[in-house]
Every structure is written in C-alpha cells, then in structure tokens.
Amino acid sequence: MRTDRPVQIPLPNRSRESHDHRPLDPARPTDRTSGPPILVSERERLTRSRRGSRLAGGVCAVRGSQLTCAGHGLLLSPDIRPCRITAHAMVTSRFWAGRRVLVTGHTGFKGGWLSLVLREMGAVVTGVSLEPDRPDGFFGQVRVGDLIDSHIVDLLDRPRLDAVVRRADPEIVFHLAAQALVLPGIEQPVETFTTNVVGTATLLAACSLARPEVVLVVTSDKVYANDGAGRPFTEADALGGGDPYSASKAAAEIVVASWRHTYATDDGPRLATARAGNVIGGGDVAFGRLLPDLLRSFRSGQPVVLRNPESRRPWQFVLEPLAGYLAYAEQLAESSARTMPRALNFGPGRDDAVTVAEVADLAIAAWGSGTWQPADTTSSVEAPVLTLDATLARSVLGWIPVLRVDEAVRWTVDWLRCEVGGGDLAGLARAQLAAYGERMGW
C-alpha cells in the first residue's frame, strides 16, 4: 500500500552471514513481474525497520513515486514507471557482507559509487587512488573517504601500493583507476598510456602478494577497433583504438590476457575485464563529458557546446554497469569450474543508444530550461557510432538494464536539483541506490 506521507528509504542492515555457495540462478525473476514498481511500501518500511535497517542521515524519502530531499522541499522526478523487462536478482548481499574488497579509483565517479554500493552491502572496502581531481565530485559530496579505508596512493608507487594490498588482503579486486577521458588522452598521451597500461600491470603484480579470488579490470567500450559500420560490438571483436585513451584501454585488455596466460594457476586469482558504455549519474564533474557539461551550463545559464551532436553512444545510469561488475565478480568467485567468460560487455539495449543531441534535449527537458549549440568544428577522433552487444552478460549473468535512458538522465538531473537546493547528496545517493535495488529485486 502506498502512502501519501514521506517514507524514509532504508537499506538492509547486512551483517556477515555464512556464505551460501550455491550457484546463482540468473534466470530467477523477482516477485515483481508487472505493474508499477513501488519503491518502499509502508509494510516494507515496517518490516525492514523491525530488522534494524536504516538509511544514514534519513534525509531522503519517497512520496508516492517521487523522491524528495526532506527539509528542503525538493520534489524530484516522478520517473519510477512500469518496467518493460522483469529484472533478475544477480547480486546477493550474503556474498558481499563482510567480504574484503579493494577498489582502485575510489576517488573517481564510478569508483566512488562502487565503494558506496559495496559498503551498503556490508563489504569491508579498501580504496586506492590519487587525490580526487575536484573537491565537488562524488567522493567529496558523499564523503566516501569516511565510509571506507581510503588510501591516497599512486599505482605507480610500487612499494606503497604493495604495502596497502598486503594490509587489505582483498578477496575481490575492482580496478577502476585510470585516465578516463578522450581529450586529455590526446593532450597527454604518454601519461595516459603510463596510467592505464603500466598502472594495470603494477596492480596485477601487487595482487600476487595477496592472491585474491577475483581481479576484475574495468576498461571501456572504446577498446574495439571501430570500422565505422555502426554495428554493436561483441566480446569476440578485434581490439583497437584510434586515439591514445582508447588504445591504452585496449592495451590494458592485452595486459590482463597476457597476465592470465603467463601466471594463472588453478588456485590463483580469476582475472577478467569488463567493458561498459557511456555512464552517467550524480557526482560526475569531469570536463568534456556531456552530462557534467550540461549541468554546469544549467547553473551558469549559458548554452553548452556539443562537439558531435549526432554521435550515438550507449548511455546508461552508473548503477547499471556496477550491478554487472558485482554480479560478474560474484560468479567468477562462486563458479566451481572456470567456465565464465573472461570479458563481458555492459551496455543498454539498442533503443537507449541515442545521439548526444537527444540526451542533451532530455536533460534540458528534465531541468526545465537550457540550450545547446553545435561546435564550430566536430571532432574527427571520436567515432560517430559506438554501441555494445551485451547479450553474453544477459546470458551468463542475467544482467538486464532496468532504467531507460530518459530515466537515467532525469536521475542525473535530480542530483543537480538537490545540490542547488542545499539537499543532502549522500542521502540522495542512498535513495537512488535503494530505488534501483527495488527495480533489480536486491
């Protein structure tokens, strides 16, 4: 039963339980197969309350199908609508509760979100990264450094990295630390190759000191040799890279494959790579990325300049690929035989691979004002069409994106709305995580 008054969104209080080592059934549907998903019902709130669950801060809430930042009167997007696809519960909190996890790049956008998700699931998280590029990004806004064991360490500083890895003794490693932008890669190619290629090799060497169960290296959708044909890339397609960033990520893939071929043992870590499409969400403040540039333009009142308005990309909300990474790592660890693929794509369906201009228009509509204009010259480096075929992830993990591109854009714009209104962004992050978890059946 829905309630008209605000209901706090709790997350489960996950204590360490004995692991259930039964293989995860990716085909098991949630018990919500039709109708509009209700984020948190009054009955569920009371049930979770009796289990001792809570939402830190308690400042974000649900009113009907709308998120609100309590205390500021900020009514966020009413975008929780019927889902066309039944979600699958691929990630089990029992697996992650109490598990030691190392996240590199935790001061960045995706690494910060992943650290929060893992912490909310009860994992013992250690982060290794450089200082955040900007203080107003996700790491600072959500105070991720207060939630985990945070270490500011350059991956190229082998003695310090080795010491952190030994101390953390991780069971699962997620490698997200990278120079992650195309244009800075063009301006600083040597630094980009050093960070993305040598940094990956250095981390893999450090992991030999702790021998984790799984090391998942996150690369990019840009690792493929793009011939411009416009077809979605599968994991079997050739690696390439027409610019330094893309080439460095393809090279990182080769480093992982080489490490696995040369050093893999039956009792050693299971090494794999994850390739995700264009990720959007709150807390991304990088210059040169579409949504951060749009949000800055909304605040300034100036039109945003789009380099390639007609370029088509696989847009997805940040929690979509993170759910895939978690499911992938869990299956790699739990699988009794080494039958899991060693690389997986994580991208939206074909309908959500839309143009830059279409995403800009969605963001402007969600905010209620704003304009964009094309750049005087277009970039000849970036491919006009880039999409991924994630059939294999759907097949082996049951991973299915649950947010449409318009919803992903609105959830991102909600972040700015909450920030401008003085709302609690840490509470909003947890509220969006809880709402997403309801969709996924977590």
Q: How many CB atoms lie within 10 A of CB 204?
A: 21
Task: Give the mean pLDDT of the chain.
Answer: 81
User: Does residue 3 register a pLDDT over 50?
Assistant: no
Residue type, 310: E
Q: Domain map of the chain by residue range? A: 93-412+419-440
Are the C-beta atoms of residues 405 and 411 closer than 8 Å to each other?
Answer: no
3-state secondary structure the chain: CCCCCCEECCECCCCCCCCCCCCCCCCCECCCCCCCCCCCCHHHHHHHHHCCCECCCCCEEEECCEEEECCCCEECCCCCCCCCCCCECCCCHHHHCCCEEEEECCCCHHHHHHHHHHHHCCCEEEEEECCCCCCCCHHHHCCHHHCCEEEECCCCCHHHHHHHHHHHCCCEEEECCCCCCHHHHHHCHHHHHHHHHHHHHHHHHHHCCCCCCEEEEECCHHHECCCCCCCCECCCCCECCCCHHHHHHHHHHHHHHHHHHHHCCCCCCEEEEEEECCEECCCCCCCCCHHHHHHHHHHHCCCEEECCCCCEEECEECHHHHHHHHHHHHHHHHCCCCCCCCEEEECCCHHHEEEHHHHHHHHHHHHCCCCEEECCCCCCCCCCECCECCHHHHHHHCCCCCCCHHHHHHHHHHHHHHHHCCCCHHHHHHHHHHHHHHHHCC
Burial of 262 (0-12, 13-18, 19+ CB in 10 A): exposed
pLDDT of residue 378: 61
User: Does residue 158 register a pLDDT over 80?
Assistant: yes
pLDDT of residue 165: 97
Q: State pLDDT tens for residues 204-227.
A: 999 998 989 999 999 999 999 998
Higher pLDDT, 195 or 20: 195
Q: Which CATH number does the domain 93-412+419-440 belong to among 3.40.50.2020, 2.60.40.3470, 3.30.565.10, 3.40.50.720?
A: 3.40.50.720
pLDDT of residue 20: 37
pLDDT of residue 94: 92
Give the residue carrying structure tokens 């299971």: 270
Task: Round to whole Å and give the CA distance between 117 and 106.
Answer: 12
Higher pLDDT, 422 or 74: 422
pLDDT of residue 150: 98
Q: How many CB atoms lie within 10 A of CB 104?
A: 30
Task: Round to whole Å and give the CA distance between 327 and 322.
Answer: 9
Q: Which of 77-91, 275-289, 321-335, 353-367 has the weakest average pLDDT?
A: 77-91
Q: State pLDDT tens for residues 128-138.
A: 999 998 888 99
pLDDT of residue 383: 74
- CA separation, residue 64 to residues 37, 86, 107 (Å): 11, 21, 34
Give the residue carrying structure tokens 């199908």: 65
Q: State pLDDT tens for residues 321-343.
A: 999 999 999 999 987 656 789 99
Q: State pLDDT tens for residues 13-52.
A: 333 333 333 333 333 333 333 333 323 332 233 223 323 3
Higher pLDDT, 43 or 124: 124
Find all residues with CB under 8 Å of 365, minimum gap 6, and list them.
none
Query: 268: pLDDT confidence band, cut at 50, 70 and 90?
Result: confident
Task: Round to whole Å and give the CA distance between 342 and 327.
Answer: 14
Find all residues with CB under 8 Å of 190, minimum gap 6, and list them.
none
Task: Round to whole Å and give the CA distance between 35 and 167.
Answer: 48
- CA separation, residue 434 to residues 20, 87, 163, 258, 282 (Å): 23, 15, 35, 39, 15
Query: 350: pLDDT confidence band, cut at 50, 70 and 90?
Result: confident
Query: 172: pLDDT confidence band, cut at 50, 70 and 90?
Result: very high
pLDDT of residue 429: 97
**Beta strand 60-63 with 7-8: parallel, antiparallel or unpaired?**
antiparallel
User: What mean pLDDT is predicted for residues 142-163?
Assistant: 97
Task: Round to whole Å and give the CA distance between 259 and 428.
Answer: 40
pLDDT of residue 24: 33
pLDDT of residue 390: 95
Task: Round to whole Å and give the CA distance between 111 and 150.
Answer: 12
- Look at the pTM and tell me if it is higher than 0.75: yes
Higher pLDDT, 75 or 125: 125
Residue type, 213: E
User: Does residue 349 register a pLDDT over 90?
Assistant: no
Are the C-beta atoms of residues 309 and 357 closer than 8 Å to each other?
Answer: yes
User: Does residue 413 register a pLDDT over 90?
Assistant: yes
Higher pLDDT, 351 or 393: 393
Task: Give Cα 393 distance to the centre of its chain.
Answer: 15
